[in-house]
Amino acid sequence: MILDGKQLSLKIRKQVKEKTLKLIEQYNKKPHLVVILIGENPASQSYVRSKERACIKAGFESTIIKKDVDITESELIDIIENLNNDDNVHGILLQLPIPKHIDEDKVLNLINPSKDVDGFHNINIAKLNKGQEALVPCTPLGITKILEEYSIDPTGKHCVIIGRSQIVGKPMAALMLKRNSTVTICHSKTRDIRDITKQADILIVAIGRAHMVDETFVKPGAVVIDVGINRVDGVLVGDVDFDKVKDIAEYITPVPGGVGPMTIACLLENTLTCYEAIEGKNND
Ligand code: GUN
């Protein structure tokens, strides 16, 4: 069965829009997401455009701050600090990757954790890992919502994640652990990877290599979640070879139309969460 992330994302975006319209009446102010985009990376430009379109459709205010690749770290820090102090900004997103001469970890940790819609601040990472209420990275959050929508209960299941990134693999592990899965993370140095992935009841692939996972990685009846977005000869393909895996998996996400649209829906939700928390406090 195909897990339709596109359909679910539209449902969530409709809910966000309805809630937004009500809250705007209460607070006389729109939720406002600011995205900082550095350089001319075509994939980043395309993601940022999609984020902006989604914000506007949801009734949010959206600002994109575009900067050249030669921006200095201190200029970027000034921008972040101004946004932190701006009462009309509820969410701040620094589009990654950023140029190597800027210390990514340092600048991400200068974003006000209450406006950290990506959930990349150390405070939000620590809260997530402790199982506390936190702003959670959008892609792994979106995956948990797909599982919930299709009543796939992670409890007691073996969840194998391929990829150990800060954006997907690590927060995904924390979320699945919180949902009582037994979690294994595999990565580029893992030996005999198929021996491990073949044990997975839920296999989440976020490695960034087109069609790396074929039927030899998958246990019959597994749930397969494909986080990959790779452009091959102008066509978007996942990290999973969908045609080879679809008949042995019980559930599988397509690319496009699986995890990708959920990331944007969750970004809207996180922005609305920040807005409600900030405006709720201001209007106490
Ligand atoms: N680049 C690729 N994915 C992401 C994401 O989820 N957030 C940010 N900020 N940059 C990204």
143 and 256, same domain (yes or no): yes
Q: What is the pLDDT of residues 162-215, one digit of tens each?
A: 999 999 999 999 999 999 999 999 999 999 999 999 999 999 999 999 999 999
The protein residue with its alpha carbon nearest to ligand 1, atom 9, reads: 95
Q: Count the helices and strands in the chain (H runs, E runs).
A: 10, 10
Q: Which atom of ligand 1 is nearest to the CA of 118?
A: 7
Residues with CB under 6 A from ligand 1: 93-96, 118, 138-139, 167
The protein residue with its alpha carbon nearest to ligand 1, atom 3, reads: 96
Residue the block writes with tokens 């294994």: 184
142 and 243, same domain (yes or no): yes
Ligand 1 pocket test target in 76, 111, 167 with most atoms within 8 Å of CB: 167
163 and 76, same domain (yes or no): no
**Closest residue by Cα to residue 203 from 182, 218, 188, 220:** 218
Ligand 1 pocket test target in 118, 138, 259 with most atoms within 8 Å of CB: 118
Q: What is the pLDDT of residues 121-147, one digit of tens each?
A: 999 999 999 999 999 999 999 999 999
With beta carbons less than 8 A apart as the criterion, state whether 205 and 143 touch. Answer: no
pLDDT at 282: 86
Our count of domains for the chain comes to: 2
Does some domain include residue 225?
A: yes
Q: Which atom of ligand 1 is nearest to the CA of 93?
A: 9
Question: What pTM value is reported for the model?
Answer: 0.97
Distance, in Å, from the CA atom of 168 to the CA atom of 162, rounded to the nearest integer, reads: 10
* 96 Cα–ligand 1 center, Å: 5
Does some domain include residue 108?
A: yes
Give the residue numbers spanning the domain of 63: 27-115
The CATH code of the domain that includes 159 is: 3.40.50.720
Please state at what angle helix 42-57 crosses helix 5-27, rounded to 10 degrees. Answer: 50
191 and 94, same domain (yes or no): no
The protein residue with its alpha carbon nearest to ligand 1, atom 1, reads: 96
Does some domain include residue 226?
A: yes
Residue 246: active-site member: no
Q: What is the pLDDT of residues 30-82, one digit of tens each?
A: 999 999 999 999 999 999 999 999 999 999 999 999 999 999 999 999 999 99
Q: Is the peptide bond before 97 cis (omega within 30 degrees of 0)?
A: yes
